[in-house]
Amino acid sequence: MTQQPLAAAVRELMPRAKADLTDLVAFASVADPRQFPVEECHKAARWVADAFAAEGLTGVRLLDTPDGTQSVYAELPGPAGAPTVLLYSHYDVQPPLDESGWHSPAFELTERDGRWYGRGAADCKGNILMHLTALRALRQVDGGYPVGLKVIVEGSEEQGTGGLERYAEAHPELLTADVIVIGDTGNFAPGLPTVTASLRGIAEASISITTLAGNLHSGAFGGAAPDALQSLVKVLASLHDENGDCAVAGLTTDQTWQGVEYSEEQFRADAKVLDGVALTGTGTVADRLWARPAVTVLGIDCPPVVGGASSVQSAAKARVSLRVPPGTEVKAAQDALVAHLEAAVPLGAHAVVERLGSGSPFSANTTGPAYAAMAEAMQESFGTPMVASGEGGSIPLCNTLRTLYPEAEIILIGVEDPTTQIHAVNESVDPQELEKMSLTEALFLRNYAAAKAL
């Protein structure tokens, strides 16, 4: 059967996808009750559960995970002898950050210049709609699904608190499948069908520095009194060398990426680097993003510019994130980060370094039959061959799933191309990417079922 009826069905479903994404984006489902009411996450979870139930899936329920959040689970047995495919995504989102930087309300899906804007429009509510639209198209054209289905939609992926990982470890039978499709990445460039073959892991730490019993007048004591903020700045500056490469002692920083390349010109455009500003680090852009460690200061607790007093600071704190490439053990990397922070503290200042969250890097085996079926689906949908890229971000669940289900193929796809600005203000999704990726997933389910039946 050709793709034409399926492609037409997906296209006809796009207005519904937009309406559904409008509803879903409206939930401020940041999984941090310090920032948004937990009821927003509960409402989003209930919406997702109802949406998959409406597509004929059974066993739909909300799972209370150990971190206090809820994941949505659904399933549907397939035809006799058919393989089982697990579809993953997450409904929680990053906080909107500085809302004054948004050109339209963060939690109100807004169409502008052919794109749909809103927090979670791509990461990851757009991918939930990718799954739903693919299933709807298959029901409309084929009258059902050619494979057994399981769906798991997480509620705390962005917080990295590990609720679903621990739940899966305690209930390993729940997510067993022949193939796991992780809907939480995207194409290397719009219109270029891509599977993500590797993910960097993550290791975080915080450092608190104190130097004085309390703040002091900078005029009376500045110049001799040890300044905690100045000490913290020195520690943070030591994390990079003169080229901007990661300088954490004990970490290898000369790895190279062997897959698709990322030109500096394209990266500068995707990242919206200002004119005249140099990129950090050495090696190719792909090396820096996908093959090597990268360290970032995520936040600093110190007085604001407006309202700050003329004081020598007695205490300061920072949160540091280390992205860990495949081939590096995440615990060893976190140990190295902690040791580096502790060793870099100047003046004998009192410092407390605390380990925060971590997640291991991931590298996929792309040689199995599911990848062949996905390559065929992407070629059919986009009219161009599939490529494999890396991803600098982390999805800790991937390694949990690989450990629990070593025979399952894990494929990472989605609608989050570099133009979507996930985790930033003015996040958006290209509806053409959503349409093409929905068709891709529908074709994949059909192709994979056919291949396994041979």
| Span 226-280, pLDDT tens digits | 999 999 999 999 999 999 999 999 999 999 998 788 999 999 998 899 999 999 9
- Alpha carbons 284 and 423: distance in angstroms, whole number: 24
1 has pLDDT over 60: no
Task: Spot the catalytic one: 157, 376, 391, 417.
Answer: 157
Q: Which token pair is 278?
A: 């140099």
Conformation bin of residue 223: beta by default, left when phi > 0, alpha when psi is -120 to 50: left
* Catalytic residue check, 342: no
Q: What percent of the chain lies above the pLDDT cut of 70? A: 99
Q: Write down the pTM of the prediction.
A: 0.85
Say if residue 62's pLDDT is above 50: yes
Average pLDDT over residues 170-179: 97
Average confidence score pLDDT of the chain: 95
Alpha-carbon distance 281 to 244, whole Å? Answer: 4
Which residues are bridge partners to 189 per DSSP? 192
pLDDT digits (tens, 9 = 90+) for 394-444: 787 898 999 999 999 999 999 999 999 999 999 999 999 999 999 999 999
Q: Could you say which of 92, 123, 165, 376 is catalytic?
A: 92
Determine the pLDDT at residue 119: 98
Give the separation between CA 434 and CA 259, rounded to whole angstroms: 25
Pairwise CA distance, residues 86 & 343, whole Å: 45
Measured in whole angstroms, how far is the alpha carbon of residue 222 from the centre of its chain?
A: 44
Per-residue pLDDT of 92-124, as tens digits, reads 999 998 888 999 999 999 999 999 999 999 999
| pLDDT band, very low/low/confident/very high, at 358 (cuts 50, 70, 90) | confident
Q: Any catalytic annotation for residue 12? A: no
The answer to whether 314 touches 215, Cβ cutoff 8 Å, is yes
Judge whether residue 143 has pLDDT over 80: yes
Task: Provide the 3-class DSSP secondary structure of residue 406.
Answer: coil
- Where do the H-state alpha helices sit in 26-155? 38-54, 125-142
